[in-house]
């Protein structure tokens, strides 16, 4: 069986090479080929688990509503039964995260199936994906409502917050995985239409509800992640006005308000976890560029009047990924040892700038971390899905 996979992989590589395809895609494929096989096999064995599988009695919503609790909020020692208090950067292990885990698992499954189909063109991956897509988006007994009204709630303070919208970045590789498989003869047109309608309904909610507006206006990585997820879902639903809106917001809001002249993100650098947050925001900025750039409008090369651009952001952070000991600030208060991993900005930045110093650390670093906090902050797990367009 393994020899059969390798033969198909070889034929795939030969086909891509003969068609003068994207060299970054080929390098990425050569690094991840074994993992694509193993992750695809794993995904074929998984049964659907949606937000209806677990319910928290603290949720103000129903079983079909995604629910999570603010990571950095804890019981008040002076008032144990009262409203929670914040401890920035310190995750409370007793908060409800089952829906988030289910969403991450869903993203991992569809992403793995999409990547495997992209390489091997086996219909079995699509058939398995349909089982999960129907459970999350179609089946009235198990589907998730297309909103995040009850995400990152805080006991005694809020039943949900706009900041919880960041949890939906986990759905990005669901959309990208479906894109990779949608032309398959095994894809069910009715299910595909309902999946697209779900994402369209979510876009309506996240662009009009006060929570969505609050998150869009956030000054730090939350505002970046609003643009990132909306951009991906707009591409998936062919919503050209929103695509253009996200491009414009990247140029006129995200870069001008977040990027310093030295290439750093000051709002992330002043946090209690500046290293991890800087990586996260740069990954998100890079993913926006990867998703929305065209030959006519390349966000990777877009430069503000004062000279600030994404190349500066990549150049600032890359040395601290290649050699973390060079980091100038104090270590993050949590998860310092777990970073960096194979950050998406490295491979996307390499594709944009052809800088070998970005490819080398991406190749050697961990592509599939298993620490929950790292997994949550690394929603781009299958970079091949983001390179389907070629260069």
The predicted-structure confidence for 203-248, as pLDDT tens digits, reads as follows 999 999 999 999 999 999 999 999 999 999 999 999 999 999 999 9
SS3 318: helix
Distance from C-alpha of 180 to C-alpha of 144, rounded to nearest angstrom: 22
C-alpha–C-alpha distance, residues 359 and 214, integer Å = 36
Q: Is 189 exposed, middle or buried (0-12, 13-18, 19+ CB in 10 A)?
A: exposed
Tell me the mean pLDDT in the region 342-354.
Answer: 97
Judge whether residue 13 has pLDDT over 60.
Answer: no
Distance from C-alpha of 129 to C-alpha of 385, rounded to nearest angstrom = 15
In the prediction, which pLDDT does 89 show?
A: 83
Spatial CA neighbour of 338 closest among 166, 146, 91, 165:
91
Q: Where are the domains of the chain?
A: 2-386
Q: Are 277 and 256 in contact (CB under 8 A)?
A: no
- Tell me the C-alpha distance between 284 and 229, whole Å: 9
Rounded to an integer, what distance in angstroms lies between the CA atom of residue 329 and that of residue 317?
13
CA nearest to 100, candidates 172, 169, 29, 15: 169
Q: Classify the C-alpha dihedral 368-28-109-133 as positive or negative.
A: positive
* Per-residue b or e along 258-280, where b marks 16 or more CB atoms closer than 10 Å to that residue's CB: bbeeebbbebbeebebbbbbbbb
Please determine, for residue 365, whether its predicted confidence score (pLDDT) is greater than 90: yes
Could you read off the pLDDT of 298-347 as tens digits, one per residue? Answer: 999 999 999 999 999 999 999 999 999 999 999 999 999 999 999 999 99
Tell me if the domain spanning 2-386 has CATH number 1.50.10.100: yes
| Percent over 90 (pLDDT), the chain | 88
DSSP reduced 3-state for 64: coil
Q: What is the pTM of this model?
A: 0.93
């Amino acid at each position: 069986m393994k020899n059969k996979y390798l033969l198909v992989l070889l034929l795939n590589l030969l086909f891509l090479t003969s068609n003068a395809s994207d060299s970054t895609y080929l390098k990425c494929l050569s690094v991840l080929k074994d993992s694509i096989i193993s992750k695809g096999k794993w995904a074929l064995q998984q049964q659907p688990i949606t937000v209806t599988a677990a319910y928290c009695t603290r949720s103000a919503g129903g079983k079909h509503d995604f629910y999570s609790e603010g990571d950095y909020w804890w019981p008040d020692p002076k008032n144990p039964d009262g409203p929670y208090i914040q401890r920035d950067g310190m995750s409370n292990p007793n908060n409800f995260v089952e829906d988030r885990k289910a969403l991450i698992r869903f993203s991992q499954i569809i992403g793995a199936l999409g990547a495997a189909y992209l390489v091997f063109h086996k219909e079995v991956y699509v058939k398995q994906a349909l089982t999960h897509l129907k459970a999350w988006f179609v089946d009235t007994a198990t589907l998730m409502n297309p909103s995040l009204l009850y995400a990152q709630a805080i006991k005694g303070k809020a039943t949900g917050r706009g900041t919880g919208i960041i949890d939906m970045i986990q759905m990005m590789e669901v959309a990208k995985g479906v894109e990779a498989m949608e032309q398959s003869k095994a894809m069910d047109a009715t299910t595909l239409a309902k999946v697209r309608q779900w994402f369209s309904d979510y876009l309506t909610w996240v662009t009009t509800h006060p929570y969505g507006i609050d998150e869009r206006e956030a000054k730090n990585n939350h505002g970046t992640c609003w643009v990132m997820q909306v951009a991906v879902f707009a591409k998936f639903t062919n919503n050209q006005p929103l695509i253009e809106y996200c491009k414009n917001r990247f140029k006129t809001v995200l870069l001008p308000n977040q990027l310093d002249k030295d290439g750093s993100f000051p709002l992330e650098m002043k946090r209690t976890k500046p290293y991890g947050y800087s990586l996260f925001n740069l990954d998100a900025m890079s993913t926006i560029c990867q998703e929305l750039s065209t030959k006519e409008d390349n966000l990777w090369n877009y430069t503000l009047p004062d000279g600030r651009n994404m190349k500066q952001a990549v150049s600032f952070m890359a040395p601290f990924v290649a050699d973390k000991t060079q980091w100038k600030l104090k270590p993050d208060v949590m998860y310092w040892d777990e970073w960096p991993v194979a950050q998406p900005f490295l491979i996307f930045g390499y594709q944009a700038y052809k800088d070998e110093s970005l490819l080398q650390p991406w190749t050697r670093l961990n592509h599939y971390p298993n620490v929950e906090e790292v997994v949550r902050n690394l929603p781009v797990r299958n970079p091949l899905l983001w390179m389907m367009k070629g260069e």
